[in-house]
Structure 1
């Protein structure tokens, strides 16, 4: 009788990881049984040794700088091989505390590993679009062969020893065959989404799986002769269960399930095993037939068909209860959206993209809670209970964030991001709705007229006001409004994104009378405006566009001007990644490029503003090259250079070393920044953020009267000409911060009066775009109260 998954029951649950278990593998065999290996988003790898029917944590490895993405046990060499988001592979001996060797060469996350064709060899796949074959000598030296051909991340690798070939699968939906020299032999196409897993089978056949939710069986001719369908979402991993026969494979994925298949007949063997977590990231099979899974709830689970190894009735009931809760969530909706489509608590690990961003998170107890990104962290707003007024169908209107609207438009801000919802009701002031939309989504103020006219046109609320494209350069590097230093052209295209490197500069809208947004109903606590205790940073970057700009400028230079080879450009671009690892080659390349002429140096300074977020990098650049001394003079130069330097200074204030160095140069910096009397909204926001971060350093440490005085004077000078409302808001926050320190209060009393604050607020709120800026009004009133 053919085995089925119905005979498998929970054997045990292994608790120890604090975050998602992204990888599991079967380790070496001991007299007590087979060891289990697990790797997690918590950056650790754990070894679990069998003790009876249980497993105990025997060793924790913590040598990676970022999350573990894959584990492979090299049976021939008895190596534990771990791959990580830090772009490295660590190789350990069984029970070894430290790596025998760390393989470096990939430029991004290593996400797949398998044994190589030769002894002491491995093949790895990476987000850098390549696979690498590593051959490791007896003395520890490693040689590599790079397999290049995929157009996107290589998610899966496999070794076909009988054919002496390698196979890779990637996010480009393609599967390639290679020889050991790295030459491409065959291309297979059949998946409609990313290929995530590969297994070589008998008779030169192949099994693949992917984000399209199917397993494809390929014959020796490279034809897809069978599709195994059953998963309802991404399939992340597969494993052969050879204890049950060569034809039995198990798979797991984003639909919370573990499934078993006969790959020859294409039949699913039994009912799937549902997990309490949303993502079953990885699966492995032990020699005794037991199945191990790693899940997004941070738990490693073992399932067995042997009653002697199955968990106690109490433990199985607890697991069944958790699964029952999960089942109820699968069909449960809130505001017309399934709860299971909402992210789990792991979504709170990622930083927000803008102040005030909200995120709904599904918790394991079945509740859905709303969080708001404020002052550098996710704050709980409340439980999401569903909207009053029924569903979108029963209400006859579009539901968005707990309210009914006549329209919920889709607005495409970027080609790489989903549309943003713009709600609107008949009779509402289009300019009010447009301003609220811009403020909520942290968009450039220059969009106001265009968004308002879009609302007017698509809601048929009145005549369309044709807008004239604003003069000046909106976006230094992207799209039609491409920045050319020194240009005086006023032929400016539609404004691009607020940050120079955030992708497409296109702005398009798509009207829709339907909304897929979740309708929610919660009560939000009042906003706190100061003291602000979390530093603001400029983090957004499109490394591809940075590199394009560097190459463009480099071609225009001569060797005497500082022209360099492409290898230096590729090296310096690595600093756009916020990696904890200090790359000395990249830093050296950066210092060379900073010597470029003023007209070409601004993208280099922009890379610098990303690099200086790392305190170790800042320290090296300061001690070896006096980095502030190099960039500060550019504050009196071109507008693009001013913007990049101010952002760089603002980011430098986020750590102790940066604050110490900036304060040592503060009189000169304030003098130069105060000398800027005009500039774009981006520059205004950068200046205000620099001042705000300075005041945070005073509120969190021992405030210095001389620093408070210089900051106050600088803010006053900025407010004399700044018109951007976000810049003014941050400037008011900076003043408010100083009111919370004794020496700051004393300084403000000397420089700023209540009348000054009132006059400035009156000036701002009398402008069309300011009359609806409730955030600025609120902080202004709080500031007046502080006086």
Structure 2
């Protein structure tokens, strides 16, 4: 039976990169067995993922390049990891190394392709500088190279024909060249109508190529294109052989958001394509076991398997399918001639403007697009962007200029007697910086700066039509009016269990003072205090009280502020069940309520912290609306919202997807949490639990020094003001956890000796303070003994 992509399902998603994953590769075998996955990103890092059961754990992050990673190649004979970058260099690492064995320098621009050479310890590279190079590295580290010169534009693809002892290169000039070992040009293949992006050497001296013309071409030994494989609707970025399924099986991916499988001998497409919830699927590779790995513009590495035992749970696959459905609806949606899903999200408003009057179009989680203007140190809402849909671009909208990709390439008339000058521009660049570069590149007068920059602004945004914004401030994250932190919030003494939201007992996250506090796990003095390996979650909830508060607030707000029908309130209450299930209707209702004014948001956030305990719910919410962009702004809000957001974060750490997503922004999150200097006992416990859960993730996975450092700093800040014994106990458990990790020991040793930390431990160890004193005394003595 012929292989089919229909049999492949999502196996797992590897979350760790903060930007596009531009390159993936299959590495060598890990010490535990199983093949490593290598990934490179626009965030300038390369990550090694080692197999662990049916998942992969990030084991090493390499950060030696100064710009984004464009290609990764694993040289099997030497066990070298080779990374190519936009910084014009190639770094070579040993598989178990942390610093480059050697760095190859000499290319004049981005190195965008790599392959093994004809001889041992050799590589061939392709670059935007229009050349390829064959590098030879001696045992002593001496480097020699032969330049392959002849392309008229960037060399995007390279390959080696071992049987023929030849090199092959493909470029943005639409040409494919054959070369001998001396660097002499032997043959020219023409057929592609756009940039050649990938090459694969096949048996019998045949060749497979792909490119921006969305076609895969099969070339025979005589250099004739005997077969065209059509199916992609946009640029093809990458191809890979899947030898586990047969020598004739190849997979490809590209700008149409799809992964496809082919029989290159018959030209048949094998099964339906797998659509990704991302604009660009930049790279693809295949593992020895037949699994397929992709890297995408959403920063995610995905593994697909045809083996049921290696496929993800039904809930995770359903979440992926829902994200794909959302992507389908977005693919053809444009506004003002610009694809909506290419616009930045609200996080773009966290960066200051570069000049007075600068404008930005921002895509919001609800699908709306708004325009903001930088005025007097703030991004002010100008209005809604109301451009029409339709008129889809034949390509991705990326234009080629000198073999490189740009969103726009303008013709600028400088003189009546000279041809227009090309002005390349990428959306998201500062127009004034792009104009300045254009002026320097073409030796133009500096007086042209404003004129060129305004030309870019006018033509890159297609003059979108704006609906004027209402008078007054509008929160760019929620759409609500400005709220003042601390309003609608009663001062609550530390240690009490008064309702932190109303000061009354109508809706409380804790029981009466005569009962044990909610969400606290008591430990006997003789029990083991650390390391702790079970995540702590906040599960207790009185659904009737939450619903009562939701109804109260819903009756107080207007339709324009988000007033909804009672059916939506009843829908979200389903998430308060002990084991919430993924229900799309309830999730949509929750998204609607999360747009309520900040002063009335705490019961909605309370439901959110219960919902995100379910990994599938978290995945769908994060893929469609970015979980952290929803909750992080409220860490600077009222005490009520702070409490619920921190509980959300603590609960999200209970599963892999949540941990990986939160860790990407952990320093920012801890900086905000550490800024909280006072609060109720419940808030103290929430903060301590969040830190404890982060340390649990470190002792169960590969501990990272930078994580240990920021967590330690956060715990120390909490111990400065926390009075609640349970919060202090969990804080000390977090410290204890870190002492069991190699990278945490040094950090803890530096901090634990600080006077006020030692004084705090002695105070808690020697002074009885209530019913919880026994376990606090015990854990404090254990920590003092350790140091």
TM-score of the superposition, structure 1-length normalised? 0.50
Q: Which residue of 1 aligns with 2:3?
A: 3
Within a 5 Å distance, the mapping from 1:523-542 to structure 2 comes to 523=469
Is the Cα contact below 8 Å between 1:241 and 1:285 reproduced in 2? yes
Q: Which residue of 1 aligns with 2:266?
A: 265
Q: Which residue of 2 aligns with 1:117?
A: 118
Distance 2:142 2:201 in 1: 29
Q: Which residue of 2 aligns with 1:71?
A: 72
Q: Which residue of 2 aligns with 1:416?
A: 422
Change (3 A) 1:186 1:4: same
Q: Which residue of 2 aligns with 1:27?
A: 27
Distance 1:37 1:251 in 2: 18
Change (3 A) 1:384 1:24: farther
Is the Cα contact below 8 Å between 1:335 and 1:520 reproduced in 2? no
CA deviations on 1:452-474 (whole Å, 9 max, x unpaired) are xxxxxxxxxxxxxxxxxxxxxxx
Which one scores higher on RCO, CA 8 angstroms, separation ≥ 6?
A: 2
Q: Which residue of 2 aligns with 1:138?
A: 139
Distance 2:39 2:280 in 1: 15
Distance 1:244 1:197 in 2: 21
Q: Which residue of 2 aligns with 1:158?
A: 159
Distance 2:164 2:344 in 1: 42
Within a 5 Å distance, the mapping from 1:668-707 to structure 2 comes to none
Structure 1 residue 383, shift from structure 2 partner: 7.5
Q: Which residue of 2 aligns with 1:313?
A: 314
Structure 1 residue 283, shift from structure 2 partner: 0.6
Is the Cα contact below 8 Å between 2:250 and 2:264 reproduced in 1? yes
Distance 2:434 2:212 in 1: 33
CA deviations on 1:501-554 (whole Å, 9 max, x unpaired) are x89xxx99x9x9xx9665453539999xxxxxxxxxxxxxxxxxxxxxxxxxxx
Q: Which residue of 2 aligns with 1:521?
A: 467
Distance 2:172 2:348 in 1: 22
Distance 1:247 1:36 in 2: 23
Q: Which residue of 2 aligns with 1:217?
A: 218
Is the Cα contact below 8 Å between 1:370 and 1:380 reproduced in 2? no
SS of structure 2 residue aligned to 1:118: coil
Distance 2:61 2:249 in 1: 32
Structure 1 residue 386, shift from structure 2 partner: 2.5
Q: Which residue of 1 aligns with 2:585?
A: none
Distance 1:266 1:281 in 2: 23
Change (3 A) 1:250 1:346: farther
Change (3 A) 1:25 1:350: farther
CA deviations on 1:287-344 (whole Å, 9 max, x unpaired) are 1110001111111110001000000111111111111111111243445765356578
CA deviations on 1:621-640 (whole Å, 9 max, x unpaired) are xxxxxxxxxxxxxxxxxxxx
Change (3 A) 1:272 1:526: same
Is the Cα contact below 8 Å between 2:335 and 2:389 reproduced in 1? no
SS of structure 1 residue aligned to 2:96: coil
> Are 1:60 and 2:69 matched, yes or no?
no
Point out where structure 2 has 5 or more consecutive residues left out of the alignment.
392-409, 414-419, 474-787
Structure 1 residue 181, shift from structure 2 partner: 0.8
Q: Which residue of 1 aligns with 2:16?
A: 16
SS of structure 1 residue aligned to 2:423: coil
Change (3 A) 1:164 1:374: farther
Structure 1 residue 372, shift from structure 2 partner: 5.2
Change (3 A) 1:55 1:378: farther
Q: Which residue of 1 aligns with 2:87?
A: 86
Q: Which residue of 2 aligns with 1:168?
A: 169
Is the Cα contact below 8 Å between 2:197 and 2:237 reproduced in 1? yes
Q: Which residue of 2 aligns with 1:226?
A: 227
Is the Cα contact below 8 Å between 1:113 and 1:122 reproduced in 2? yes
SS of structure 2 residue aligned to 1:252: strand
Structure 1 residue 194, shift from structure 2 partner: 1.1
Distance 2:75 2:434 in 1: 51
Q: Which residue of 2 aligns with 1:204?
A: 205
Change (3 A) 1:378 1:19: farther
Distance 1:147 1:377 in 2: 51
TM-score of the superposition, structure 2-length normalised? 0.50
Q: Which residue of 2 aligns with 1:668?
A: none
SS of structure 2 residue aligned to 1:156: strand
Q: Which residue of 1 aligns with 2:286?
A: 285
Structure 1 residue 368, shift from structure 2 partner: 4.7
Structure 1 residue 69, shift from structure 2 partner: 0.8
Is the Cα contact below 8 Å between 2:371 and 2:383 reproduced in 1? no
Structure 1 residue 350, shift from structure 2 partner: 12
Q: Which residue of 2 aligns with 1:193?
A: 194
Distance 2:330 2:59 in 1: 36
Change (3 A) 1:517 1:164: farther
Change (3 A) 1:228 1:309: same
CA deviations on 1:205-255 (whole Å, 9 max, x unpaired) are 111111111111111121222221211111111111111111111111111
CA deviations on 1:6-48 (whole Å, 9 max, x unpaired) are 1111000011111111110000024531100011111111100
SS of structure 2 residue aligned to 1:323: helix
Within a 5 Å distance, the mapping from 1:375-524 to structure 2 comes to 379=379, 381=381, 384=384, 386=386, 412=412, 415-417=421-423, 497-498=448-449, 518-521=464-467, 523=469
Structure 1 residue 148, shift from structure 2 partner: 0.8
CA deviations on 1:89-141 (whole Å, 9 max, x unpaired) are 11111121111111111111111100000110000111111111000000111
Change (3 A) 1:26 1:386: same
Distance 2:376 2:125 in 1: 36
Structure 1 residue 152, shift from structure 2 partner: 1.2
Is the Cα contact below 8 Å between 2:370 and 2:385 reproduced in 1? no
Change (3 A) 1:181 1:441: closer
SS of structure 1 residue aligned to 2:330: helix
Structure 1 residue 415, shift from structure 2 partner: 3.5
Structure 1 residue 348, shift from structure 2 partner: 9.4
Distance 2:55 2:238 in 1: 24
CA deviations on 1:588-631 (whole Å, 9 max, x unpaired) are xxxxxxxxxxxxxxxxxxxxxxxxxxxxxxxxxxxxxxxxxxxx
Distance 1:378 1:130 in 2: 46
Structure 1 residue 65, shift from structure 2 partner: 1.1
Structure 1 residue 382, shift from structure 2 partner: 6.9
Point out where structure 1 has 5 or more consecutive residues left out of the alignment.
394-409, 421-439, 445-474, 484-494, 528-787
Change (3 A) 1:518 1:211: farther
Is the Cα contact below 8 Å between 1:412 and 1:418 reproduced in 2? no
Is the Cα contact below 8 Å between 1:381 and 1:525 reproduced in 2? no
CA deviations on 1:328-386 (whole Å, 9 max, x unpaired) are 112434457653565789999999998645444556x5625446575899957478452
Matched length = 439
Structure 1 residue 191, shift from structure 2 partner: 1.3
SS of structure 2 residue aligned to 1:277: coil
Distance 1:383 1:231 in 2: 37
Distance 2:165 2:321 in 1: 45
> Are 1:247 and 2:193 matched, yes or no?
no
Distance 1:443 1:290 in 2: 42
Distance 2:468 2:54 in 1: 47
Is the Cα contact below 8 Å between 1:355 and 1:374 reproduced in 2? yes
Is the Cα contact below 8 Å between 2:371 and 2:466 reproduced in 1? no
Change (3 A) 1:238 1:525: farther
Is the Cα contact below 8 Å between 1:173 and 1:191 reproduced in 2? yes
